[in-house]
Structure 1
Amino acid sequence: MKSLLLNSALLAITLSLSAIGGPTASPALAAETPPAAPAAVETVDVDPALWVVKDADTTIYMFGTVHILKPGMGWFDEAVKEAFDKSDRLVLEMVEPGAGEAQQLFAKYGLDKSGKPLTSKMTEEEKAIYTKAMEKVGLPAAAFEPFDPWAAAVTMQVMGLQKGGYDTNSGVETQLTAAAKASKKPISGVETMESQLAIFDSLSQETQVKFLIEAAKVVDDMTTSMDAMVALWAKPDPDGLAKVMNDGLTDPKLYAALLTNRNANWAAWINKQMEKPGTIFMAVGAGHLSGTTSVPKLLTAYGIETERVAY
């Protein structure tokens, strides 16, 4: 389940939570000192994979994203920038709601309504693993007590990645959104923050606790694992990236919820968009664009062939 911890769907949520100070639902976390601004770094040119589907009057570019990156990744140029500039609008997995709405949604889906403390849902062995991991991210074990296990897991992940030098402001969606606003391109999402949070809230408590404990076990390796996946994204090696990201989803129900069902919805959305003229730049988590149940694979059922853009 190690790969699951950094799945693109989870990072979309951690991006949202961190953008609103996700852990602000906990007073203990609200008191944390924000990290210092990163020092200037040299930009490294990378060329992530870009796909396109098109017919006589419609073009849809599909760009696989990483939702949180270290500063200094120069990906927004060459064919990616050209495709973005040609596009009439930007479509993301979701458009971030305002801070107030996001906090309300987190309270609705990420906090335990019964008031049952998080650690009371764990065995003594699990509690020991969790407590040790919290020490490593610099928080008391009690900090996440109001959280559902899944919310504690994703918050722990983003905090671990931030300690390893990752910055949500360097994420692909953040930069694309800024560019779209600057060029006055309409921005929309194929999902909402609420629908994404609801996916995790619908998981059984047993699955959520397992997810949290697996996150706690690998907190030391989180940055190393993410570095390896970003290297595959940057190379690019989309098939290798999909394998690393998605092989950890060994639970069929979880795999369907996080990948197959969502990919099927997005493929249907693309098929419908092909009926309308125009050019779209669609940016979704890279794990959704490669593999046996990827969006490009599912598009073949509609008779739509996907091409890799060479650059």
Structure 2
Amino acid sequence: MTASITLPSPAKLNLFLHIVGRRPDGYHELQTLFQFLDYGDDISLTLTPDQPGIRLATPIPGVSEEDNLIVRAARALAAKASGDLPGVSIAINKRLPLGGGLGGGSSNAATSLIGLNHLWQLGLGLDELAETGLTLGADVPVFVRGHAAFGEGVGEKLTPAFPPEDWFLVLKPACNINTGKIFSEQGLTRNTSRIRIAPAFEGDASRYRNDCEDVVRRLYPEVDQSMEWLKKFGPARLTGTGACIFGRFPTESAARIIWESKPSGIIGFVAKGVNVSPLHQKLTELE
């Protein structure tokens, strides 16, 4: 049995996010296009046969162990095992900002599920892992499945998609956004017309937007100011409920030129959009 493994936990972007209705349980019906970035966290999983249990070697400031999706994912997977499992120590090299709309927590959960399935030799398929992931968060299944996808429902109904693998400049304004607050706002658009599975950005790009963007920009001036700056260089968009915004560029050098001129006080990065998750690329190398 392999004793240790380090796997990528990539970011995602919502290339668009349409809110097409509201369900009786209060959740919103979405249509969105997920694409991964070749940038994210790294998670190291080490088996500890002499120390049973699940331990987080690198706690995340401000996140309790009970709320940490890495720990919750590991416990959910352990509950599916029929026999005793060796203990595991989990460490994370955290690059993705918390509360950025990049899916960091969901990605961490998915990487933990897939990595522990491998280390513990449970033999579970992606369907079962995605089903477990959905109990942790609506975005976890897309990370488990590992392919860019058109998402519907609360984001869990996935159809593989193939958007252009462009370069992105991602900026994180200096604010943290409460997703629940955004989805409960009176002024939020909730009746965007449904579209059929669309090849991303073919035809009129104005058909695609992020329905959370107007509300977020109104409530968070930092996002509004960053958006105004980035829009000087081309279309800019919010991912998820933010706070991160992104602009797309045809080349890495084009994105980096803009990055070099960013306003002070804003953090961010340049990354390539990829349709196969770096996590699944790494797993292919291990097979």
- Say yes or no: TM over 0.5: no
Higher relative contact order (CA 8 A, sep 6+): 1
More helix by proportion, 1 or 2? Answer: 1
Structure with greater strand share of residues: 2
